[in-house]
Amino acid sequence: MSRASTRREIEELLAKFEPDITQAFLAAVDDIRSSIVLRVVVNLLEKGDVQGAVAAMNLDHDAFAKFELAIVNAYNGGGQAFVANLPKMSDPSGNRVVWHFGVRNTPGEAELRRHSAAFVTAATEDIKQAIGESMAEGLAKGQNPTQTALQVIGKVNRVTGKREGGILGLTSQQSDYVDNPRYRLNPDVEPPGARQQLESGDPAMMKAYLKRGRRDKRFDKTILKAIKDGKPLPKEFIDRVVGRYSDGLLKLRGEAVGLNETMNALAKSRHDAMQQQIDAGKAESQDVTKVWHHPAEEHPRLQHIAMDGKSVGFEEQFQMPDGTLMRYPHDPDAPAKHTIFCRCRTEYRFNAIDALIRKRRLAGVQ
């Protein structure tokens, strides 16, 4: 398959499966928030039981079952698309070689499920840490337990009936962007969160908030007026602004997860699909070459630019400039610095003509 064909195929698959994975992740977070009983969480916070409050939010693995299924669907779809584009060829007897991709109970799918399970486990633990720190900070500064809980899980929108705002679902780093609990303890070292900037009353800090990319710009005029008048912002207004900023970050989180997990699933499916043809005796690894392609993007990795156009045999690994070995872009065994937000892809060149000539010679066919 040519470079252009590979790019077009992956772009089409991304357009098909990425929205499903993104939505499945955000839906899982929404389901978790909707199932939380606020009264139970508040009662535990009133007793100072932060860990109990975190446990009461039921951040368990099963909540992400549909998300994991969406990843498997992308994997299956990617493999089917790959074999559909393999070249038409016949065996030495003249029979057509039929390419198939086994979509169930394959080692590749099992490995993918382990990867997605590990991702969900890491994500839920990160979320638990973030909300635990937020609630502990809220109690430490004497905040009302109800307000502390709502800043984590968000308030119910009376129109939609769903919770909005809150930090549940964000990474710990994103949670700090919203409200950094360590800033109050060490302001000389820790950066302020959006809430600290707006509560400060300091014109410089409030202007710094207006540089945040995921803020809701509809509130900017009111914030600028407060800066000009030298007046503090009302608490209710700050809660609304921070809530919408948090929603923007959660959307970004979903988009990042959707892109990364879709690219991971598609890259793995293409490699596994080729491996299945080799295992089935329909192709031989010596006839397959892998080529690394780096797309034009806004924030490219210099190491990945250096890999553009590099080729290796199917059984070989790409060696990055820093020495990292990768079977293909998005290799799940590679460190995150080479996979997160990566849009590189692999072109598999199958020399069907040489393969057929060799097989005919071995079969004694002239």
> What pLDDT is stored for residue 115 in this prediction?
86
Q: Which residue would you say has higher pLDDT here, 22 or 91?
A: 22
Nearest-angstrom CA–CA distance, 84 and 328: 20
pLDDT at 76 > cutoff 60:
yes
pLDDT at 141 > cutoff 70:
yes
Token pair listed for 341: 């937000």
> What pLDDT is stored for residue 5 in this prediction?
79
CA distances from 152 to 99, 131, 255, 357 (A): 51, 6, 21, 65
Are the C-beta atoms of residues 293 and 308 closer than 8 Å to each other? yes
Per-residue confidence at 281, pLDDT binned at 50, 70, 90?
confident
Q: Which residue would you say has higher pLDDT here, 113 or 91?
A: 113
> What pLDDT is stored for residue 53 in this prediction?
96
> What pLDDT is stored for residue 359 in this prediction?
65
Are the C-beta atoms of residues 356 and 90 closer than 8 Å to each other? yes
Nearest-angstrom CA–CA distance, 194 and 207: 11
Q: What is the mean pLDDT of residues 172-199?
A: 92
Predicted TM-score (pTM) of the model is 0.88
Per-residue confidence at 97, pLDDT binned at 50, 70, 90?
confident
pLDDT at 288 > cutoff 80:
yes
pLDDT at 366 > cutoff 60:
no
Q: What's the mean per-residue pLDDT of the chain?
A: 91
Contacts for 8-15: CB closer than 8 Å, 24+ residues apart? 9/81, 9/82, 9/85, 10/266, 10/345, 12/81, 13/74, 13/77, 13/78, 13/81, 13/262, 13/266, 14/259, 14/262, 14/263, 14/266
> What pLDDT is stored for residue 269 in this prediction?
94
> What pLDDT is stored for residue 6 in this prediction?
79
pLDDT tens-place string over residues 143-171: 899 999 999 999 998 888 889 999 999 99
Which residue bears the tokens 């397959």?
Answer: 288
- 227's enclosing H/E stretch is helix 220-229
pLDDT at 82 > cutoff 70:
yes
Per-residue confidence at 182, pLDDT binned at 50, 70, 90?
confident
Nearest-angstrom CA–CA distance, 364 and 111: 40
Nearest-angstrom CA–CA distance, 231 and 14: 48
> What pLDDT is stored for residue 270 in this prediction?
95
pLDDT tens-place string over residues 314-324: 999 999 999 99
Nearest-angstrom CA–CA distance, 50 and 152: 12
pLDDT at 273 > cutoff 60:
yes
CA distances from 130 to 24, 28, 74, 91, 165 (A): 21, 17, 30, 58, 15
- Helix ranges (DSSP H) in 85-144: 107-140
pLDDT tens-place string over residues 193-242: 999 999 999 999 999 999 999 999 999 999 999 999 999 999 999 999 99
pLDDT at 364 > cutoff 60:
no
Q: Which residue would you say has higher pLDDT here, 302 or 106?
A: 302
pLDDT at 102 > cutoff 90:
no
Q: What is the mean pLDDT of residues 269-277?
A: 94
Burial of 70: CB neighbours in 10 Å, binned 0-12, 13-18, 19+: buried
Q: What is the mean pLDDT of residues 5-27?
A: 93
Nearest-angstrom CA–CA distance, 20 and 167: 23
Q: What is the mean pLDDT of residues 127-151?
A: 92
> What pLDDT is stored for residue 160 in this prediction?
87
Give the list of residues 6+ apart from residue 175 with CB closer than 8 angstroms, or none.
130, 131, 133, 134, 167
Give counts: helices (H), strands (E), the chain. 13, 7
Is the CA virtual torsion 64, 66, 67, 68 positive or negative? positive
Per-residue confidence at 105, pLDDT binned at 50, 70, 90?
low
Are the C-beta atoms of residues 268 and 112 closer than 8 Å to each other? yes
> What pLDDT is stored for residue 146 in this prediction?
95
DSSP state of 217: G
Q: What is the mean pLDDT of residues 131-139?
A: 92
CB atoms within 10 A of CB 352: 16
Q: Half-sphere exposure (CA, 13 Å, Cβ side) for 332?
A: 22
Per-residue confidence at 95, pLDDT binned at 50, 70, 90?
confident
